[in-house]
Structure 1
Amino acid sequence: MSEPHTTVGWAHALTASLAAALTRAAGDTALLDAARRLLLDGEAGTLNVNRGFATTKFPLPGGRVARPRLLVTELTDADWDRVETALRARPDAVAVAGTAAVSDRLTDPAHTGGIPLVPGPEDISHTCTCAPEAADAACPHSVALGMLLADRLRTTPAPLFTLRGRPHQHVKKRLRSNGVDPGQAGTPMSGSPPAATAPVPAQAQAQARARATESTPPSPPAPPVPGPVDLDLTGAHPVPAGSLAAPPAPLPAAEALDALTADAAHRAEALLDGALLAGQEPPAGSGSGPGSDPGSDIARFLALPHGAPFRQAAMDRLGLDLVGMGHYRLAHTHGGPAGAAAYLEPFTVGHDILVDAQARIQPLRPAATAPIACEHNRLTDDAAGIQLRYGPDGRWHPYRAPYGIWQPVPGPSADPARAYRAARTAGRTNRRTS
């Protein structure tokens, strides 16, 4: 009978690497003693783990604050692919790495395709704002930060995955879906990218005009008009009877052209009614995120009667399965096109936005000392089962993961605290109804 999986080995492995890195960099055991005193005094702030670095804060005399960083080399995509390939080859892949309790057997590179998940001494460096000499060297604050992280890994190894460049949530979803990551919207699940067959408003019309121009020879000049022509603009004109001939290739099919026409009429009516001016569309100039991506508008198109027949084509274009498409439409229901954009793909936002959001939600967190993972436009509180995604509309869109996959819930808000409360409310509602 095999031994049960444990997690404590992660703490031992990282502690050994930190000690070796410190010996290489300074060779001064006094730093270790000073770091231990800081932790014993309980002066450390919230531990935040990001891709490539972890950070916290310590108070300094005079009301100043020291902000140390533990910098770690990220694994490359090729390295992570090798790790995941090795994990999928195991019959116990989900038990070993598919839950939050990642087995510390994976500290041995022999189980991860020869790629070490625990950073070696050469992968670790320190920096801190406590003094100029600590700008690129170890100090008691940065060493204490490393110890704090190692202690967290004793029971929660997931932050190490984020630190090394790929959040554990991504790895877990890939393992549980047999190599398919449903969270990476816009990426085909396997094989070559599917053909884009779903009509995309405006863009498809422009493509159709361009193709028609390329494939149609220039028309001969019209014969001269012999004289003035009186146009009857008031009388009745006969409507062609029967169906029209199918458009020639490579123009879109008649059904797609009908849908585009209906969608153009719908958007024109919405503009006249002022609906698009009331927050139904992402604001212009909202940044270089996915707000301008045609994919973020497909959810609006599918929600209308003329868009419903193109659901499967949209799934193929976006690389979504049935569950992903359901969550994508929920994101649009709760947050409009900007909510759909926030679901589809991550994009980079300013560091100040993330820091401000972390500070605002901190009093609301049930596990205040648990780490928060920051990745692109997303804040993830794994301990609470809550994720916030910053959208191109300037709002935070709340998510829960009741079944291991993040799904949107109602309550997007420009205030991250309100969005966090909405996620907690949705969690309580799900527990009552389940």
Structure 2
Amino acid sequence: MTTADQAPAPATCGWMDAWLTAFETAAADPVMLLTGERLLDRADIGQVHINPGTAQATLTMPNAARPHQPCLTIGPLPSPEWERVYQAIAATGEHADVIAAGRLPDALSDPANADVIRIAPAPGDITFTCSCRPDPGICPHTAAVGYRVAQHVRANPGVLLTLRGGSIKELRTMLRESTSTATESAAVPEHARTGIDARLAFGRLSPRPTRPRPARAHTTPTSLLDGLRSDPPAPGPTAHSMRLLTRNAAARASEILAGGPHPAGDDPVQDAARLLADPAHRAHLEHAAEQLGLSTLQMRDLALAHEYGGAAGVEVALWPLAADAEVLAHAEAAIQPHRPARLASLVSQDNQLTDAAARIQLRLGSDGLWYPFTDWHGTWRPAPGPSGDPAAAYKAARRTLRAR
């Protein structure tokens, strides 16, 4: 068994681009891909295990009850196909020194060589499975693993050979045997040689300049008429969904024109939490959670976080943030008189102050406000009442607990 954390080789872009092209085409879901990219920095992704035909890892979301087990399955090349690939590469002799050093030249990833060397998978060779969903399909967790594989392929293209059932070791062996045969052939008199020069037969494998990866297309949303009544053909959104989207877009535009905050980037999780904070959209909560790879409870809590604190409230609900030690110390002193059990431990970590005995946690947001959370059957649920005064936020959390 091998892992993606083998000895590194010099960086390459050609093989990484070949992998990304196949992986993103197979995913065919820009929202999932974008969410997966963002998870690379926000989630705990364990070691990616690369074996013939599979790339799998353990991924832990912040505040999640249990980790996810995403896996990418890649159709391997059959042994006869690998023999043909090895022989085609070895026959040129162009890349012997590079491959002998454990590298895979970018020139071999050129699409013009695909009929001879087809190492990179086609989109149809890739399938996605994850413990977050019962059926195969792309999700944020498998998308994150796909992008992590791209990072490993960039550092060590031999990873791609392993995924496809090949071996850089076998390729090097084939090259050594080919070099030895060529040396023996050189000792044969010119008049005794027959056949065609291998360099001419496989001239198409000569190095080519690396082609830049085309920029991703950006689409401009089209407005929808609120008066639409008939549903478009499946699998398009229903007329009801289109009316909700139109109404939401109009409301957001009015807020911005009135001097309100601009949307928080193109984060689908933030956008879903904002939409679901509106009671008119709550019927779509389960579907949104499924599409984003979250549990229904997590999606409901994020909607509450946006209802109570907007985008900054969702941010502190999702991820730990950095915080100044002096600010945390001041907050500890401010809430101490209001704690029901003052001698109980008070844990300070990242931007969070946790009073486990009182079932209260405060989180400092990037906007300088303290956001209250209360213990709800083992998870921290957002509570109303964020404040710049940590004591006021703490008292808001206590009011929420008394109201239950």
Q: TM-score, normalised by structure 2?
A: 0.41
Q: TM-score, normalised by structure 1?
A: 0.39
